[in-house]
Structure 1
Amino acid sequence: MWAACKVKVHDYLATTSITLRQCLRLGATMAKSKFEYVRDFEADDTCLAHCWVVVRLDGRNFHRFAEKHSFAKPNDSRALHLMTKCAQTVMEELEDIVIAYGQSDEYSFVFKRKTNWFKRRAR
């Protein structure tokens, strides 16, 4: 079984090296990335024009962060102040944000209808 498998691998490598040699001889141009072709499979994920864009940021491992800093449950004033300050900083940096709303360990940011941030891409 190993011998048969070894032959198949050897044949594949031989074919691959021939193809590589041919490309080098022809002076083929290299792509920016060997995975550049994946972009052809991407769906258009642009948000509709003149519609509100809402970005929701959800906390990651917030319970561990809360335990490490001994936050009182359910609402520690230090945690609320920290999240509010972070949201204020985001709003100062991104002038297209109209309003921010926080609940639990997440914040939602509402962008202007005519915003063009990130080319209105959803992802």
Structure 2
Amino acid sequence: MKTPTRDRLRNALKSAMRERDRTALTALRSTLAAIDNAEAVDTATRAGAIEAAVGLGAAEVARRELSDAQVEAIVRAEIAERKTAASEYEGVGESARADALRAEAAVLTAQLG
């Protein structure tokens, strides 16, 4: 059975922390944050202040659960974003930053395997 993408990302994050790989840490942390943000509850569906529920945990709302395909789509979007930004940095002569973004994209691409 294939390991879920989120689990692969978290395992890679632990490895990157042990190895002190700053490029991988940056890419993996921001991608995991993007996944967490995608799971956040839409604020339009929450009750307003006047309609607020009362009691411990009454206002708790379950987070959305993303399928592995949705998580992979987010990772692919993060890769595309980095590649686009790298091209833009290259265009203005910031080749060091462009190389760093391409390295981050490579880290994420390796996790989709």
Bigger-Rg structure (1/2): 1
**One fold, TM greater than 0.5?**
no
TM-score by length of 1: 0.29
Structure 1 or 2: more helix by fraction: 2
Structure 1 or 2: more strand by fraction: 1
TM-score by length of 2: 0.31
